């Protein structure tokens, strides 16, 4: 058994996202800000007839807000019944990884520790597997 992963870049770091939760990758149109909200929420944008919540993944990792610009890329994922767009710098590839190549993450940088529980090896290079659920989790934010 193997799993598909999307390889993308967040905060200048190459990461992987399990394709199971991913619906598509889109360019973000008009973004409407959400005042008084957690800064991890970059805003709302419309995708066809749906409203998606745009997540500033970079802020989540580094604490630095990414400037939202038109034509930015977002990974569309449905998490807990809500539609999210996860802002990424760029998307490079989709790879199939054998289950054996997925290993639990150990000893990670503080800023990534919360988001990453697994690592995968692609062509001899380790990639962190970012769990989108943790990106948008409210409990984690409150604790942080």
Partner 1 sequence: MDDLREDFIAETRETLEILAGQLVQWEKTPDDLGLIDSAFRFVHTVKGSCGFLDLPRLLRLSHAAEDVLSHARDGRISVCPELVSATLAVIDRIAALTDALETGESVFDDDPGLIAAMLAFLPTEQAVEEEASAVGSDYLNEEVASIVDDHTSRSKSRTVRVSLNLLDKLMNGVSDLVLARNEVSRQLRRYGASTEIDHAFGRLSTTVAEMRDAIGMMRMQHIDRLFSSLPRLLRDICIDLDKQIELTVEGSEVEVDREMVEALRDPLTHILRNSADHGIESAEERRSVGKDPVGHIQVVARQSGNQILVEISDDGRGIDVEKLGQKAIARKLLTIGQWQKMSERAKLDTIFAPGLSTADAVTAISGRGVGMDVVRNNMHAIGGTIDLENHDGHGLKITLRLPLTLSIIAGLSLRAGGQIFGISRSSVVEIISVANRNVEIEHIGDMPIAKVRGERLAYAKLEALLEVEEAACSQGMARTLVIIRPAVGATFALDVEAVVDNEELVVKPGAPLVMATGLYAGTTLPDNGRPMLLLDASGLAAAIGVEEDLFERDTKRHDAVHLEKRQIDSGLLFETMDGKIRAIRLASVERMEDFERAAFHEVGGRLCVSVNGTLFDVRGLDGLPEQSHVKLLRLTDGSSIVFLAVADVIDIFAIDGEVAPSLNPEIYEGIVHVDGRPIELLSSFSFFELTSDAMRSHASGRPLCFISAETEDGWEQRVLAPLLKASGYDVTFDEQHRATASVMLSLDANADASNGDCRLVKLRDSLRPAEGGHDSIYRYDRAALLSAVSSKIAGGA
C-alpha 122/C-alpha 102 separation (Å) is 10
Q: Which is nearer to partner 1, 48 or 125 (CB)?
A: 48
Please, which residues bridge with residue 113 across strands? none
Q: Which residues bind partner 1 (CB under 8 A)?
A: 30, 32-38, 40-41, 44-46, 48-51, 53, 80, 82, 84, 136, 138, 141-142
Q: Which is nearer to partner 1, 63 or 93 (CB)?
A: 63
* Min dist. Cβ of residue 22 to partner 1 (A): 17
Q: Which is nearer to partner 1, 80 or 124 (CB)?
A: 80
Tokens of 125: 């290079």
* Min dist. Cβ of residue 6 to partner 1 (A): 21
Would you say 16 and 120 are in contact if contact means Cβ atoms under 8 Å apart?
A: yes
* Min dist. Cβ of residue 81 to partner 1 (A): 8
Would you say 12 and 127 are in contact if contact means Cβ atoms under 8 Å apart?
A: no
Q: Which is nearer to partner 1, 103 or 138 (CB)?
A: 138
Would you say 23 and 78 are in contact if contact means Cβ atoms under 8 Å apart?
A: yes
* Min dist. Cβ of residue 46 to partner 1 (A): 5
Would you say 47 and 26 are in contact if contact means Cβ atoms under 8 Å apart?
A: yes
Q: Which is nearer to partner 1, 6 or 79 (CB)?
A: 79
Provide the sign of the torsion angle of the four alpha carbons 36, 41, 46, 51, taken in this order. negative
* Min dist. Cβ of residue 98 to partner 1 (A): 34
């Amino acid at each position: 058994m193997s799993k598909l992963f999307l390889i993308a870049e967040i905060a200048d770091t190459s990461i992987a996202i399990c394709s199971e939760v991913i619906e598509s990758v889109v360019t973000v149109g008009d973004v409407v800000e959400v005042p008084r909200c957690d800064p991890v929420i970059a805003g709302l944008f419309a995708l066809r007839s749906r409203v998606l919540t745009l997540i500033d993944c970079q802020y989540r990792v580094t604490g630095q807000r990414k400037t939202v610009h038109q034509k930015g890329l977002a990974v569309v994922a449905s998490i807990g019944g809500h539609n999210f767009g996860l802002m990424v710098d760029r998307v490079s590839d989709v790879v199939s990884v054998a289950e054996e190549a997925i290993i639990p993450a150990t000893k990670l940088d503080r800023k990534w520790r919360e988001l990453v529980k697994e690592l995968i090896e692609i062509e001899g290079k380790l990639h962190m597997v970012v769990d989108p659920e943790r990106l948008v989790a409210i409990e984690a934010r409150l604790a942080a």
